[in-house]
Amino acid sequence: DAGVIQSPRHEVTEMGQEVTLRCKPISGHNSLFWYRQTMMRGLELLIYFNNNVPIDDSGMPEDRFSAKMPNASFSTLKIQPSEPRDSAVYFCASCGTTYNEQFFGPGTRLTVL
Amino acid sequence: SQKIEQNSEALNIQEGKTATLTCNYTNYSPAYLQWYRQDPGRGPVFLLLIRENEKEKRKERLKVTFDTTLKQSLFHITASQPADSATYLCALDFSGGGADGLTFGKGTHLIIQP
């Protein structure tokens, strides 16, 4: 298995632009998580899905952030409009076991100028 | 809200010695506590999980303890090697067996010096 796949790996954009991050979870995993990592705040949970349904989006910082999971093999995290403070590494993780061992993707490093 | 504290300063250990990392948390006790390793430019990698009713868990050179009274977990790497150098993250899991988002500490940067 290729593991969790994220794209793009790096994204540089200007303030105000729309950014879409993509994630393909491990096949067979039915839970998907989006996290954000910064030096100041560490790794924070943004939102997670079980069986493609959003369960908890309380970590989404603002209405500018939205996430979808149209099917079991694909999820997107969208930021519109982006702001410099959104600059961070965004990780997607998936989980398929009862005991919640999570498998992380390589992350997308987002820089908003 | 839940807080997790890990040593924010880097931990320098001589090769061959045992490295001990600390994770303290406040408020509610998790159903599980997990430890992850993160290398620069990569995503965290799962290492060990320990349940609230377990005192200790081992995996090769790794050992985790979990004291729900002290609200603390200790993570030990015995016979440490330079390849063990990385950031180690503690994560709280309240899922009780289902899948749930994790609450992570900021991690401790471990440096094993040859």
* pLDDT in the model for residue A1: 65
The 3 state secondary structure assigned to B26-85 is CCCCCCEEEEEEECCCCCCEEEEEEECCCCEEEECCEEEEEECCCCEEEEEECCCCHHHC
Mutate to test the interface with B, among A26, A102, A104 (most CBs of B within 10 A): A102
Q: Are A96 and A27 in contact (CB under 8 A)?
A: no
Say which DSSP state A25 is in: P
Chain A residues in contact with B93 by the CB 8 A cut-off are: 100
pLDDT higher than 70, residue B72? yes
Q: In percent, how much of chain B has pLDDT > 70?
A: 95
Give me the phi and psi of B34, to 5 degrees please. -120, 155
Give the gap in angstroms from C-alpha A87 to the nearest C-alpha of chain B. Answer: 15
Tens-digit pLDDT profile for residues B85-103: 999 999 988 766 556 788 8
Q: Are B64 and B50 in contact (CB under 8 A)?
A: yes
* pLDDT in the model for residue B52: 86
